Amino acid sequence: MGKFAITMMGFLLLCFCAEAVYMKYKDPKQPLNVRIRDLMNRMSLEEKIGQMTQIERHVASPQIMRKYFIGSVLSGGGSAPFPKATAADWVKMVNEIQKGSLSTRLGIPMIYGIDAVHGHNNVYKATIFPHNVGLGVTRDPQLVKRIGAATALEVRATGIPYTFAPCIAVCRDPRWGRCYESYSEDHRIVQAMTEIIPGLQGDAPANSRKGVPFVGGKTKVAACAKHFVGDGGTTKGIDENNTVIDMNGLLNIHMPAYFDSILKGVSTIMVSYSSWNGKRMHANRDLITGFLKGKLKFRGFVISDWEAIDKITEPPRANYSYSVQAGVLAGLDMIMGQENLVEFLDDLAFQVRNNIIPMSRIDDAVMRILRVKFVMGLFENPLADLSLANQLGSQEHRELAREAVRKSLVLLKNGKVTNQPLLPLPKKVTKILVAGIHADNLGYQCGGWTISWQGIGGNDLITGTTILNAVKKTVHPSTQVVYQENPDVNFVKSNHFSYAIVVVGETPYAEMFGDSAKLTIAEPGPSIISSVCGVVKCVVVVVSGRPVVIEPYLANIDALVAAWLPGSEGQGVADVLFGDYGFTGKLARTWFKSVDQLPMNVGDRHYDPLFPFGFGLTTKPVKS
C-alpha cells in the first residue's frame, strides 16, 4: 500500500506540475479574450503599470525591461543604434531589449515603435517616399496602400513591429510646421488616404468587429493614426497651439479620418499636443474616453505623444502628479517618453493604491495593450530575424517611390503664353543649366523626419538619386549638363544655355521648428530665380513641405512645378520634366498669393488663391 501511495502521489504531483505549467495566455489556440483575461489575472499592479510605459531606446536595457516590466520601447526621431546601422544591427538591438522582457516572470513581450512616416525614414539605406503633402496630390489610395505595404516590410526588416503612422491631420494653415505630414486641407482626401493603414497592417477580415485592431502577421506592422484630434487646425498654424472650433466643425473637418481608420482596424491612436477650445487634448476625457473609446468603439490602445502629459500644465511639469492623474483618467493607455522613469512609475502606483486613479482604468489600459500584442502575434514571435533584411531599400520599393514622385508633381505654369509651353523639356539640346541649392541634395529633397528628427542636408546618409543626377541620366548623351548651385547673371548670359532647371525651396524642419509666418523660399533661392530666369528660359522646381511665396517671381518663370518633398527617388522628377510620363497631379492644398490671406481654404468666403485647390496643368507623355 505504501508503495502504491508513493506512486500515486508522484502521479498527482506530475499532473499538478503539468497543470501549473500550462498557461492559457500562452496558447494561441485559446480565444483572444480568454488569453487576455488569463494573463491579466496573473499580473501585479507593477506589471500592469509597466505595460503602460513606453521608454526611449537610450533609456532601455535588458535590465531595465526586467526590473520595471516595461511594455514598450521607441526610437525617437534620429535615434538609431549608431550612424549607418544595418538591418542586422537594428535587429540585434531590438532583440537584446526584447530578451529582457521575455525574462520577466510572465514573459510579456515589449512592442518596439518608430516614426516610419514616409518610408523607414530613420534608417540608413531605406527607401524614402514622398511626404504626405505630395501623396495627397495623387488622389490615389491604392498607391498609398502599396507604399504602406512596402514601408511595413522595411520596418520589419529591422526587427520593428510598430510605426507611429499615418498622420491624418487636416492641415488648415500652411504656417504649421507639420503641414507636410498632412495629405490635404480637405478631409475627404485625408479619409481616402487612410488606405495606407491596411497597407501597413494588412486587410482586416470582412467579418471583423468594428474598432478591433488587426495586424496580418510578420510582414505587417501595427499602425498609429495621429494626432487625435484637431492638430491641423491650431490658431495661426502654431504647433501644439489651441484649435478654436465648435463641435460641429471638429466632427466635420478633423474627425472623419478617424472613423475610417477605426473601421480599417487601426491598432493604436496617438493623442495631439494641441488643445481644443483651451483644453489640452491629453486631458480631454470627453473626447478620448467618451467619444473615441465609447461612441466610436475603438478597441486598440491610445498612446500619448512624447512627454506630452508633462505639457498638460503650463509650464510643463509644474504639477507632475496632476499631469499623470489627468492624462491617465482622460483615457491614455500608454505613456510615451518617460525620461524620469522611476518617478512616473512610483507616482502612478501611488495614485492607484490611494484610489485617485481606479484600478478599472488601469485594467482598461492594459487590456487594450495586450489585445494589440496578441493580435499582432508578438507572443508567438517575439524575436525578429534577418529573413526580410533584403527588403530594406529594395529596387522594387525604389521603383514604387519613383512612381509616387511622378504622380505627386503639380504643374502650376507652363509657358509665359499658353500656346508656347516649355514642358516637356527636350532631351537633346546643346547645353542646359541646372541650378539651386536643392538640385543636388538628398537631405533637402527628403525634408524633416529623415535620418534625424529635423532632417539633414547633403548626400552622405541617404541612398537615392538627386534631381541633378536624374537629369543627367535622362537627357541625351550629347547634351551637356552644367551644374552651378548659385550662378551669377554673367555666367548665365555667357554660356548660351538652351534652357535652365532651377531647383529651390525650403530647407528641412520638423514640428515647431517649421512654424513660419513668412513661408518664404530659402535664400539664395529667390536670387537664383532672378539671375537665371531673367536671362534664359527656365523651369523652377519648388521643393517644399507646403505652398510658399512665389507670386513675386512668377512673371519671370516660364514653367513652375511643385515637387513637395519627393524623398530619395529624384528620378521621378526627371521622368515627368522630360516627358517620359505626363503631369497628372492636382493641388490638395490651396496655393495662396500672400501670407496675409491665411488661413484660407477651399470654400472660404475670402477665397482668392494664386492657384486654387484642385488646380494642376497636365501634359502628355512624349514618345521616344
pLDDT by residue (tens digit) across 125-157?
999 999 999 999 999 999 999 999 999 999 999
492-530 pLDDT, tens per residue? 999 999 999 999 999 999 999 999 999 999 999 999 999
248-257 pLDDT, tens per residue? 999 999 999 9
For residue 355, the 8-state DSSP code is T
| CA distance linking residue 253 with residue 97, whole number of Å | 41
Percent of the chain with pLDDT over 90: 95
Check if the beta carbon of residue 619 is closer than 8 Å to that of residue 411: yes
17-73 pLDDT, tens per residue? 444 579 999 999 999 999 999 999 999 999 999 999 999 999 999 999 999 999 999
Check if the beta carbon of residue 211 is closer than 8 Å to that of residue 236: no
Closest CA to 499 of 543, 541, 550: 541
Specify the CATH class of 409-611 in words: alpha beta
How far the first Cα of the chain sits from its last, in Å, is 98
Percent of the chain with pLDDT over 70: 97
Q: Which residue has the higher pLDDT, 5 or 123?
A: 123
The DSSP element (H or E) to which 14 belongs, if any, is helix 2-21
Q: Which active-site residues does the annotation give?
A: 305, 511
Q: What is the pLDDT of residue 417?
A: 87
Query: Is domain 74-376 annotated with CATH 3.20.20.300?
Result: yes
Mapping DSSP to helix (H, G, I), strand (E, B) and coil, where does residue 481 land?
strand
**Average pLDDT, integer, range 578-605:** 98
**Average pLDDT, integer, range 356-379:** 98
Q: What is the pLDDT of residue 419?
A: 87
Q: What is the pLDDT of residue 452?
A: 98
| CA distance linking residue 491 with residue 508, whole number of Å | 29
- The residues, ordered by sequence, that sit 6+ positions from 112 with a Cβ below 8 Å of its Cβ are 72, 73, 74, 75, 94, 97, 98, 159, 160, 161, 162
The owner of cell 541634395 is: 441
161-180 pLDDT, tens per residue? 999 999 999 999 999 999 99
Domain boundaries, the chain: 74-376, 409-611
Q: What is the pLDDT of residue 286?
A: 98
The owner of cell 492607484 is: 352
Q: What is the pLDDT of residue 20?
A: 57
| CA distance linking residue 236 with residue 67, whole number of Å | 45
Q: Which three cell numbers stand for residue 102?
A: 521575455
Confidence band, pLDDT 50/70/90 cuts, at residue 295: very high
**Average pLDDT, integer, range 392-401:** 98
210-259 pLDDT, tens per residue? 899 999 999 999 999 999 999 999 999 999 999 999 999 999 999 999 99
Whether the CA torsion 75, 78, 83, 88 is positive or negative: it is positive
Q: What is the pLDDT of residue 623?
A: 83
Check if the beta carbon of residue 113 is closer than 8 Å to that of residue 56: no
Reduce the secondary structure of 279-305 to three states and give it as a string: EEHHHCHHHHHHHHHHHCCCCCEEECC
Report in angstroms the alpha-carbon separations of 465 from 70, 409, 468: 41, 16, 8
Whether the CA torsion 28, 32, 34, 40 is positive or negative: it is positive
477-488 pLDDT, tens per residue? 999 999 999 999
Q: How many CB atoms lie within 10 A of CB 247?
A: 12
Q: What is the pLDDT of residue 252?
A: 98
| CA distance linking residue 429 with residue 83, whole number of Å | 42
Q: What is the pLDDT of residue 15?
A: 44
Check if the beta carbon of residue 240 is closer than 8 Å to that of residue 512: yes
Q: What is the pLDDT of residue 78?
A: 94
The strand pair at 268-271 and 301-303 is best described as parallel
